[in-house]
A and B are shown apart, each in its own frame.
Chain A
Amino acid sequence: MLFNSYTFIAFFLLLLILHNWVPFSWKTKKINLLLASYIFYAAWNPPFILLLWISTLIDFFIGKKLYHEQKKRSRYLLLAISLMGNLGMLAFFKYGGFLLENFTLLINAMGFDYQAAKPNIILPVGISFYTFQTLSYTLDMYRKKSEPENSLLDFSLFVTFLPQLVAGPIVRPNQLIPQFKQPHTANQKQLLQGLFLLSLGLFMKVVLADSMLSASADAVFGATQPLHSLDAWMGV
C-alpha cells in the first residue's frame, strides 16, 4: 500500500478514528494496530505475511531462551538458529539472484557448460528492516542488554508496526516496546503537528519528487554514458 494513495488515506483515517476516538481498551487498540499492520503489509502480497510471522516467532521464543540459557554452547546454538533463520531469509530473497548469477559465472569460468534456470524471486517489501529489527532484539538478549519481552502482542507490534515496517527506521527494542506498555492518545497539538508533517511529506513526494524532479532523476540514473559530476549530483 503506497503512502501516497487514496487507499492509504482511507485506511489511515479509519485506523486513526479507531485508535483515538473509539473507547476500546488499550489491549484492543494494540490488537487493532497489529491487525492493521498485517493488512497494510498483506495488501502488497498476502503470502509474504508468513515471513513476518516466521521472523516474529523465531526471535520471540529464541530471544527468551537465549536470555535465560546459561550454557555457552546452547547460547551459541540458539544465536546461530536465529541468525540463520533471519539472514538466510534475507540472503535468499535479496541476494538469491545475485549469488546464483555469480555461481553460474564461476562454474562457466571453470569450463563447465551450466545455465541455471531464471530464479524469478520477488523481493518482499521491507524485509531488511524487519529482519534487522528482530535481529537487534535477539542480539540484545544474547548480550543480556535488556529484559526479554513477555508479551507476544507487544513484540509482534514491535516487529510489524506499520509506520516503520516498510521504510524504517530500524529501532531498538528499548526504544519502541516500552511505548506499547502505557495507553497513548494523541492530543490536539500532536494531531495537528502530525497532519502538518504528513502534508509536507506528501507535497515533497507528490509535487516535487514524482512530478517536477522525476524526469531528471530518471534521465540521470538511466544514463548510458558517463556523466559529468554535477549532472550526477543533480540526479541524486
Chain B
Amino acid sequence: MQPKHFQRAGIFAGILIISFIVIWEIFWRSQGFPISFNDDESLWSEKREQVYKPIDEATVFIGSSRIKFDLDIPTWEKITGEKAIQLSFVGTSPRPLLDDLANDIKFKGKVIIDVTEGIFFDPNEARANSSAATAIKYYKDWTPAQKASSRLNKFLESGLVFLDKNKFSLNAFLNEIPLHKRKGVFVFPLFPRGFEMNTSERQNFMTDDFVKDTVQHNKQIANWIFFGDTVITKGIQGDSLTTVLNKVKKSIDKIKARGGKVLFVRTPSSGGYIKTEQIVYPRDQYWDRMLAYTNTQGIHFQDYPGIANFICPEWSHLTPADAIIFTREFIKILEEKGWKFKTTKNL
C-alpha cells in the first residue's frame, strides 16, 4: 500500500472512530445513564491503601452490596468530617476482608461490618470469598504500572459514560444475546442496566429511571428469586456456625487488641427478602448470638424507628434518596452508642 493510501485510510478510520465514540457517548447519556466507575480491583486497592488513616479520621466499611447502596458517602463525610472507606463487594461475604484487616498489623482503625445473613454465613468459603480474595491478592501485588493505569482510567471514566465495562463493553453486549438454554451451561441473568451504578468512592446507586420504573424493579426481584434467595432452606447450623463465629471473633479481637473499633450493622431489606431472611436466619440464633459471641456492638435496622421502615424497590437495596436519610439516622445511632466523630454537623 502506498503512503498516500495509508494516510487516507488512517484519516477515514480516525473520523469513523471519533464519530462513533461521540455518538455512542451522546446516546447513552440521552438514555439517562450518569458517569459510573468500573468497580474493579484497582479501584478497591486505591481504597484499601487508605485504611491506615488515624482512627479519628476514617471508618472502614466492609460487607456486601447493601452497605454499598445504603451508605451515602458524601452525607457521611459531610456530617462526621471523616472519610468513609468503602471496601465491600457485591455478593461477597465480608469475612475475608475482616480477616485481611485483622492480619494487617498496621491497621488500627474503625470497622463497620454489614451483615447480609445469606452471604455472611455462607459456609461455602470459596463462593463467599471469591471477589474479595482476588482483590486482596491484587492489592498485595499491585504494580506501579497498574497504579498508573488506575489513575488514568479514573480520569477517563470521570468524563465518559461508555467506559463502564459492565454495561457498555463488547462483552456486556455479547452477554445480552438471547441464546437458547444449553444443558450444563449456567447463564448469569441480566441485571437492569440502571440498577447498579458506581461512584469513584465505590458507592453504588440506582439511576433515576430505575428508581421510577417498577418493571425494572420486578426484573431485579425475579433475579433474586432465580438465585434462590427467597427459597426457605435451613441456615448454617451447629459446628459449621460455631467455626464461622470463632473465625469472626478471632479477627475482631485482633483489631480491638490494637486499639481498633468494630461494629456490626444489619442494613434494611424488605418484601420477599426480609420474609425469607427472618425464617432462614432467625435473629436470636444468628444476629443476637453473633453480637454476644464476639462481644461487639451492633445496629439492627428493625430496632430503630428512624431506619426501620424503608421500602427497598427491589427488596434488597435503598434508593439514593433513602440512602441519605439512612446515613443521617445511622450516624445519630452510632453517636448514641458512644461512637465519636471528628465533627458532627446537623444537616
Closest residue to A10 on the B side, CB-wise? B152
Stretch at the interface among B143-151, B307-315, B326-334: B143-151
User: Would A6 and B145 be within 8 Å (CB), given that A193-B6, A196-B6, A211-B174 are in contact?
Assistant: no
Produce 1/0 per residue, B1-38, CB < 8 A to A.
00100110110010000000000000000000000000
Instruction: Give the residues from 125 to 176 in chain B that come closer than 8 angstroms, CB to CB, to chain A.
Output: 143-145, 148-149, 152-153, 156, 169-171, 174
Stretch at the interface among A22-30, A39-47, A92-100, A146-154: A39-47
Bound state CA distance, A43 and B147, in angstroms?
9
Q: Which B residues are in CB contact (< 8 Å) with A6?
A: 149, 152-153, 156
A44 touches B7 (CB 8 A): no
Question: Is the C-beta of A188 less than 8 angstroms from some C-beta in chain B?
Answer: yes
From B3, B10, B149, give the contact of A7 (CB < 8 A). Answer: B149
Bound state CA distance, A206 and B225, in angstroms?
35
Closest residue to B3 on the A side, CB-wise? A189
Q: Which A residues are in CB contact (< 8 Å) with B3?
A: 188-189, 192
Q: Which A residues are in CB contact (< 8 Å) with B148?
A: 7, 43
Question: Is the C-beta of A117 less than 8 angstroms from some C-beta in chain B?
Answer: no
Question: Is the C-beta of A14 less than 8 angstroms from some C-beta in chain B?
Answer: no
Instruction: Give the residues from 78 to 111 in chain A that come closer than 8 angstroms, CB to CB, to chain B.
Output: none
Question: Is the C-beta of A5 less than 8 angstroms from some C-beta in chain B?
Answer: yes
**Closest CB of chain B to A220's CB: distance in Å?**
14
Chain A CB within 10 Å, residue with most, of B145, B152, B171: B145
Chain B CB within 10 Å, residue with most, of A5, A7, A207, A211: A7
Q: Which B residues are in CB contact (< 8 Å) with A17?
A: none
A211 touches B149 (CB 8 A): no
Q: Which B residues are in CB contact (< 8 Å) with A10?
A: 152
Question: Is the C-beta of A1 less than 8 angstroms from some C-beta in chain B?
Answer: yes
Bound state CA distance, A10 and B151, in angstroms?
12
Q: Which B residues are in CB contact (< 8 Å) with A2?
A: 145, 149
Please classify how large the interface on chain B is, using the bins under 10, 10 to 19, 20 to 34, 35 or more: 10 to 19
Bound state CA distance, A196 and B171, in angstroms?
24
B10 touches A211 (CB 8 A): no
Produce 1/0 per residue, A174-218, CB < 8 A to B.
000000000000001100110110010000000100011000000
Q: Which A residues are in CB contact (< 8 Å) with B7?
A: 188, 192
B143 touches A212 (CB 8 A): no
Q: Which B residues are in CB contact (< 8 Å) with A46?
A: 144
Bound state CA distance, A111 and B170, in angstroms?
56
**Closest CB of chain A to B97's CB: distance in Å?**
22
**Closest CB of chain B to A138's CB: distance in Å?**
30
Q: Which B residues are in CB contact (< 8 Å) with A195?
A: 10
Closest residue to B155 on the A side, CB-wise? A6
Q: Which B residues are in CB contact (< 8 Å) with A7?
A: 145, 148-149, 152
Q: Which A residues are in CB contact (< 8 Å) with B13?
A: 199
From A43, A189, A193, A207, give the contact of B145 (CB < 8 A). Answer: A43
B144 touches A192 (CB 8 A): no
A211 touches B171 (CB 8 A): yes
Bound state CA distance, A2 and B145, in angstroms?
8
Bound state CA distance, A45 and B140, in angstroms?
12
**Closest CB of chain B to A44's CB: distance in Å?**
5
Q: Which B residues are in CB contact (< 8 Å) with A196?
A: 6, 9-10
**Closest CB of chain A to B135's CB: distance in Å?**
19
Q: Which A residues are in CB contact (< 8 Å) with B170?
A: 207, 211-212
B169 touches A211 (CB 8 A): yes
A44 touches B174 (CB 8 A): no
Bound state CA distance, A193 and B7, in angstroms?
10
Bound state CA distance, A10 and B155, in angstroms?
13
Instruction: Give the residues from 133 to 189 in chain A that come closer than 8 angstroms, CB to CB, to chain B.
Output: 188-189
Q: Which B residues are in CB contact (< 8 Å) with A193?
A: 6
B174 touches A189 (CB 8 A): no
Chain B CB within 10 Å, residue with most, of A43, A188, A212: A43
**Closest CB of chain B to A69's CB: distance in Å?**
41
B6 touches A45 (CB 8 A): no
Q: Which B residues are in CB contact (< 8 Å) with A1?
A: 145
Q: Which A residues are in CB contact (< 8 Å) with B6?
A: 189, 192-193, 196
**Closest CB of chain A to B20's CB: distance in Å?**
14
Bound state CA distance, A7 and B169, in angstroms?
19
What would 15 more interface pairs be, CB under 8 Å, given A5-B149, A211-B170? A2-B145, A6-B152, A6-B153, A7-B145, A7-B152, A42-B144, A44-B143, A44-B145, A46-B144, A188-B3, A188-B7, A189-B6, A192-B10, A211-B169, A211-B174
Q: Could you tell me which B residues sit within 8 Å of A by CB distance?
A: 3, 6-7, 9-10, 13, 143-145, 148-149, 152-153, 156, 169-171, 174
6 nearest CB pairs, A to B: A43-B145, A192-B6, A1-B145, A189-B3, A7-B149, A6-B152
9 residue pairs A–B, Cβ–Cβ below 8 Å:
A1-B145, A5-B145, A6-B153, A43-B143, A43-B148, A44-B143, A46-B144, A199-B13, A212-B170
